Structure 1
Amino acid sequence: MAGLTKTFGRTTVLRDAHVDLVPGKIQALIGQNGSGKSTIVKVLSGFHRPDAGATLHRGGRSYDLPLSAHELDELGIAFVHQDLGLVDAASVVDNIRVGRFSRGRLTRRVDMRQERAAARRTLDRLGSSIDVDGPVGALSAADRAIVAIARAVQSLRAGDGVIVFDESTQSLPPEVLAGFYDTIRDLAADGTAILLVSHHLDEVMALSDSVTVLRDGRVVASAVATAQTSVRELTRLMLGVDPQVHPLREEVETTPADVVLTATGLTGRRLRGLDLQLRAGEVLGVTGATDSGHEELPYLLAGARPGRGTVACGGTTVSLAGAGSRALLDLGIALIPQGRTTAGLALGLTASDNVSLPRMRARNSRYRLSSGWQDEEARSVITEFGITPPRADLLMGAYSGGNQQKFLIGKWMVARPRVLVLHEPTQAVDVGARRDILRNLRRAAAAGAAVVVISIDEDDLAAVCDRVVVLAEGRPSRQLAAPFTAEDVLGTRVSALEKQS
């Protein structure tokens, strides 16, 4: 790909970028959020129309971008997107085979026995035992990612083609990553050209043959041999400055005070009578292996999923049986969910509108909303989190994923809840955005909030948390108190996994 330039209104997000892919090789594409990574993928997939001059060279021919879905299929180019693009109500086999519809007439009779067998073979190749007839909506996040990968793999001809992995590992727990990495290596060994778009530099170092680095929409390093670089050097290229490492717990000190929240007997599909206490000024981490119940906890605490137990906060106790999210929000408990584009942000509204939503009920007059305080709140978030471009009037959908995540967290921080509950707060964000987010969580705690971070990222937990509770089989298994390292968190989680199995 060459000559990739893309302008949104007054903002140019790509400037004459280029990426070269080689059959049988894994090329990584990295950069801070807002650097242009996602825009390149969206241009290649036909979602965005680039400015004039963007071309794709494939098989000795040149093609003007964008290409249609049919043209991409004919050229053997498949995608595993960050949002996976699955239909929850459809079966696994239907989600896998939908990628091959363009190869024949839609009126052609479908042999479902053959389709099931093909889907089964592909899933077996990926080491998955998912039921091909089950609905995708019932699958875990990890299995949903496997289905999306299977769809891309099945749409390619053996030993040929290109697969673009766009932050595709964000839904996978650590214990299944090794198998996923092996699958990518096997695809490359078969002759497939791989473009790996990732913010995990350890993943990039482990998987890729070479790395292209974007900064502010420009390519600042092209096809750097992975074996001849380092995480520190790649970080320097991404940021434009030498990275400075400071423990966030030391950088932003907090003083845990009185108990602000007491959860008793939390019970859901996985959790089994969990008791939990949070103190003002404390950052508590909760983690565990797949199916340990940690992924369910944030939504029970915030009343977003049905469950049993009680939550006491601010002198009021609420029973989760029959209570909804409004009752828990009224207690001062704010949830920042994992799916920012489906459960946390309105992409068709401006940054100002999104930031003001949590406090609109308190600020709303009888006749009209004041745009002044909306813009002021948005500018506060933009400044605190270092969001670019710094425009409160820009539609949320025009921002990169990492900047969207900053807005999602920032809009609740300016609302000053008693308790902030976050599920994977740095998922699919780059190293710079990650540090901005974690630093602001420490600041929220320093200002008196209780912060709960539910995550499988041991680096995040070690950087920001005062305590970490590790769950196994729906109950607390072990607990760590600061200071501790990422290796301590990982080792404790592995021990809990062994206990669970």
Structure 2
Amino acid sequence: MITIILVKTDSSAQATTDLLEGALAAGNTAADAPQLDPDTPVLRLRNVSKTFPGTHALKGIDLDIAPGEVRALVGQNGSGKSTLIKVLAGYHAPDPGSESWFNGEEFHLGSRDGLGSSHLRFVHQDLGLVLEMNAVENLALTAGFATGLGGRVDWGEQRRRAEETIARLGVDLDVRKPLAEATPVERTVVAIAAALTGWESGRGLLVLDEPTAVLPHTEVGRLLDIVRGVQRMGASVLYVSHRLDEIFAIADKVTVLRDGRVTATRDAAELNTQSLAELMVGDQVDAAFRLGRPVVAADASPVLSVRNLSGVQVKDLGLSVARGEILGIAGFAGSGADEAAYLLAGARPAGEIQGEIRRGDGSWEPAGAALTRQRLPLVPADRAGEAVVADFSVADNLTVRVLDRFRTLLGLSARRENAFVEEWIKRLEIKVSAPDASIMSLSGGNQQKVIMGRCLASDPSLVILAEPTAGVDVGTRQAIYELIGQLADDGLAVIVTSTDTTDLLALCSRVVVLNGGHVVAELAGEQITDQALLAAMEAGDR
């Protein structure tokens, strides 16, 4: 059995590749290496279908993935990507008549044992980690526990293994703290390390389902280096992402799903961002969409102003946002940009928020007490962990912030609440079988619309969006952009923080760039380009 160790160095891709190949060569000798026809697909699927009550999620999927290939799997939210991944992982059993082979040997989809368990490895969109546990315990759940005298767990050895593995991935992580306290980047690293532990040979398949959905720009390149290293050692990768630039950076071929069917499989070199977006949506879509909103006049009356705003990372932030303005806050991980959204929304303890705030033309007051009291509506970066109430229906998730609207002398008015829910489902074009359906039955993009609807339903003057299109396909992304633009046209002030510069380019007429917790640049109007944003963020690093 081969354990693959990934090491991060400054020489990045080549160093990762060398180490992976070395690990493979050390344990997989010519005597025990499987002799397989190089033309035999690592994974072959034929007529794979999956039916849920009222929904035909997969419809006759055929798929061949070659040895050493990186295959991108793309499609709109609800196209069937997540269902296919769950069928491969054994979480769902496919419909009768579905067929599958691994390296030419037939195996049964929907089973967690046998070939699928030993050769198909997964990093799911929700990472599959136990957040109450630390990295040591999460890695042990996959690799097994180190034991000592009497069969007791040797926690010292277990911690040493975890620290070694995480350090070689290039991340400084306290492996003893619960993953609930870790950053999205740290959690993703732990999930990848767990998935690759005990890999048996190069003819396996690593499935990465939206691995960069919440990763900052600076971390995406590192992940892609790791993927290239896995590919060069002979393993195959099925890569699912809504970020089309990643697809062209990493994939050999692209398979497009739409409405549960494979509608195209193309060489990545034959496509561009626009043509791939059109294959996904099935209609004309602008992959380089921009609202093109005018810059708000400098003397416009602000909806919200802050000065000397500080938290753990943010230091002395000063900004204002006017009615109808979409203001962006940019910066790499750790710059303070990600924390700024939570400070402004009062989603941190008052004692952790320093500085002053002013609403409109009112007087300045201490920021901590004022922000935590008013609790501005926030669409948080971690939709699953911080926003979605998994046990609630779509309707309950939409109305939980505004239940007082439906209160009567006899309790809550179901009629008024139902009318309200139907209105917002129609307005946001949420694809759901029924309002009382579980929110977990929705695709990621439709869940995001529900959370946005929850924030907008209270008729706020300002809304804060952190990573507003994380895990959202190109068609839904444009619909969200257009919705935000319409709301701004109606006078809503919007603050957007995002590690995806696409969001900032599409939405904002002004962007404040942070580094080290401080404002290092401000761009407006035509100054806001991808190159200018990245240059400003990187200049702060230098």
**Mean CA deviation greater in 290-299 or 300-309:** 300-309
CA shift for structure 1 position 287: 0.9
1:456 aligns with one of 487, 493, 499: 499
1:86 is matched with: 129
2:398 is matched with: 355
1:4 is matched with: 48
Q: Is the 8 A contact 1:28 1:196 kept in 2?
A: yes
CA shift for structure 1 position 61: 2.9
Change (3 A) 1:387 1:297: same
2:442 aligns with one of 399, 403, 416: 399
1:191 is matched with: 234
Query: Which amino acid letter does the alignment assign opposite residue 313 of structure 1?
Result: R
Q: Is the 8 A contact 1:309 1:320 kept in 2?
A: yes
Deviations 1:116-164 (A, max 9, x none): 4543454354333434445434432212211111111114224242211
Deviations 1:35-69 (A, max 9, x none): 1111111222233333333343224332333112x
Query: Which amino acid letter does the alignment assign opposite residue 11 of structure 1?
Result: T
1:161 is matched with: 204
**Mean CA deviation greater in 264-273 or 385-394:** 385-394
CA shift for structure 1 position 370: 2.7
CA shift for structure 1 position 26: 0.8
Q: Is the 8 A contact 2:107 2:115 kept in 1?
A: no
**Mean CA deviation greater in 199-208 or 387-396:** 387-396
Separation in 2, partners of 1:344, 1:423 = 12
Q: Normalising to structure 1: TM-score of the pair?
A: 0.90
2:533 is matched with: 489
Task: List aligned pairs for 1:212-251, cutoff 5 A.
Answer: 212-222=255-265, 224-244=266-286, 247-250=289-292
2:366 is matched with: 319
The structure with the largest alpha-carbon Rg is 2
Change (3 A) 1:393 1:318: farther
Deviations 1:281-331 (A, max 9, x none): 100000112211111111111111122233332658663445674x123xx
Any stretches of 5+ residues in structure 1 without a counterpart?
none
Q: Is the 8 A contact 1:78 1:155 kept in 2?
A: no
2:374 aligns with one of 328, 337, 344: 328
Change (3 A) 1:336 1:378: same
1:35 is matched with: 79
Query: Which amino acid letter does the alignment assign opposite residue 448 of structure 1?
Result: G
Query: Which amino acid letter does the alignment assign opposite residue 309 of structure 1?
Result: G
Query: Which amino acid letter does the alignment assign opposite residue 366 of structure 2?
Result: S
CA shift for structure 1 position 114: 4.9
1:308 aligns with one of 326, 348, 354: 354
Change (3 A) 1:494 1:80: same
**Mean CA deviation greater in 287-296 or 486-495:** 486-495
CA shift for structure 1 position 267: 1.4
Q: Is the 8 A contact 1:159 1:191 kept in 2?
A: yes
Task: List aligned pairs for 1:100-249, cutoff 5 A.
Answer: 100-101=143-144, 109-112=152-155, 114-222=157-265, 224-244=266-286, 247-249=289-291
Separation in 2, partners of 1:85, 1:317 = 45
**Mean CA deviation greater in 15-24 or 404-413:** 15-24
1:423 aligns with one of 458, 466, 474: 466
Separation in 2, partners of 1:17, 1:316 = 62
Change (3 A) 1:118 1:403: same
1:14 aligns with 2:70: no
Separation in 2, partners of 1:195, 1:316 = 55
Task: List aligned pairs for 1:330-479, cutoff 5 A.
Answer: 333-389=376-432, 391-479=434-522
Q: Is the 8 A contact 2:329 2:495 kept in 1?
A: yes
Query: Which amino acid letter does the alignment assign opposite residue 384 of structure 1?
Result: R
Q: Is the 8 A contact 1:2 1:19 kept in 2?
A: yes
Query: Which amino acid letter does the alignment assign opposite residue 206 of structure 2?
Result: I
Q: Normalising to structure 2: TM-score of the pair?
A: 0.83
Query: Which amino acid letter does the alignment assign opposite residue 227 of structure 1?
Result: A
Change (3 A) 1:390 1:490: farther
1:49 aligns with 2:96: no
> Which SS does the other structure have where 2:495 is aligned?
strand
Any stretches of 5+ residues in structure 2 without a counterpart?
1-44
1:258 aligns with 2:283: no
Deviations 1:45-104 (A, max 9, x none): 233333333343224332333112x44674222211112222334332222221124999
1:294 is matched with: 337
Separation in 1, partners of 2:161, 2:106 = 33
Residue identity over aligned pairs, in percent, reads 35
**Mean CA deviation greater in 175-184 or 313-322:** 313-322
**Mean CA deviation greater in 261-270 or 90-99:** 90-99
> Which SS does the other structure have where 2:355 is aligned?
strand
Separation in 2, partners of 1:89, 1:262 = 37
**Mean CA deviation greater in 120-129 or 463-472:** 120-129
